[in-house]
Amino acid sequence: MQGIWFSELQTPGLALSVKLKKTLHHEKTPYQDLAVVETESYGRMLLLDNIIQTTVGDEFFYHEMIAHVPLNTHPNPRTALVIGGGDGGVIREIIKHPSIEKATLVEIDARVVANAREYLPEISCGLDDARVEIRFEDGIEHVRQMENTYDVIIVDSTDPIGPAVGLFSAEFYRNVYRALKPDGLFVAQTESPLFNGRLIRRIQRDLAEIFPIARLYLATVPTYPGGLWSFSLGSKEYDPLEVDWKKAPQLVTRFYTPAIHQGAFALPPFVQEIL
């Protein structure tokens, strides 16, 4: 293969390789190794510790599905919290909802936000909206301190390695429950059903113990391991399968639609088996 390629080792035996045009930026932040590269097929791409976080070419699959499923499940979401998500993609989707009065981004690494603003304007453009508050702090600590505060919480974390491990724990989910309003709900990205079945099973069981409604949904994300990604949802009151679509806002999207929302909860037999 000619030229310079970046390969993410997605599992010990599987790599995804992307041909690079150039490296736009590379630094060691206090938390991680950060790079923004220009790729031939997916446009600009953000890497944290050599793991693909997002690309301009396919980010909308993930950001629309992690944001609009919970926001349309809630009949009137006014306050939303994003944990992680320093590239701004989830915030950009949240502020499409006219009911949103305040969207809080809690990102541990200020350098992710700074670099997204500089190199990924298509993704970070929502961060300047007047309804958005950005806090550079530990999301785990933040939810520990909050009570009865948010309608929707979205956990847009890195993989469960290093600092993100705590974002996949039952203790964290209990704190999320407390940080939510009495009819609130939350969603977290929960990795690949093909490669992380045991993790997903454990998370779904933890959520079922904490929330009256616990569900799993799926979406394609071309640059993530296995190409099929999972999202775990815990809700105090509203069921994502019972949305009153007549009352849902009209959204301009490229992946998400009401039919895709409904269909995302249809689980293939191999996924039902891991639960």
Residues near ligand AG3 (CB under 6 A) are 10, 51-54, 85, 87, 89, 156, 158-159, 189, 224-225
Nearer to ligand AG3, 38 or 49 (CB): 49
- Which one of the listed residues 58, 156, 159, 206 is annotated catalytic? 156
Residue 188: CB minimum distance to ligand AG3, A: 10
**How does DSSP assign the chain, residue by residue?**
--SEEEEEEEETTEEEEEEEEEEEEEEE-SS-EEEEEEETTTEEEEEETTEEEEETTTHHHHHHHHHHHHHHHSSS--EEEEEE-TTSHHHHHHTTSTT-SEEEEE-S-HHHHHHHHHH-HHHHGGGGSTTEEEE-S-HHHHHHH--S-EEEEEEE---SSGGGGGGGSHHHHHHHHHHEEEEEEEEEE---TTT-HHHHHHHHHHHHHH-SEEEEEEEE-TTSTTSEEEEEEEESS--TT---GGGSPP---SS--HHHHHHTT---HHHHHH-
Is 156 a residue of the active site? yes
Residue 14: CB minimum distance to ligand AG3, A: 11
Q: Are 115 and 151 in contact (CB under 8 A)?
A: no
Nearer to ligand AG3, 72 or 230 (CB): 230
Nearer to ligand AG3, 51 or 165 (CB): 51
Nearer to ligand AG3, 85 or 240 (CB): 85
Residue 46: CB minimum distance to ligand AG3, A: 8
Residue 126: CB minimum distance to ligand AG3, A: 12
Q: Are 15 and 8 in contact (CB under 8 A)?
A: yes
Nearer to ligand AG3, 154 or 176 (CB): 154
Residue 164: CB minimum distance to ligand AG3, A: 9
Q: Which two tokens stand for residue 82?
A: 């994003």
Distance between CA atoms of 153 and 176, rounded to whole angstroms? 8
Active site residues: 156
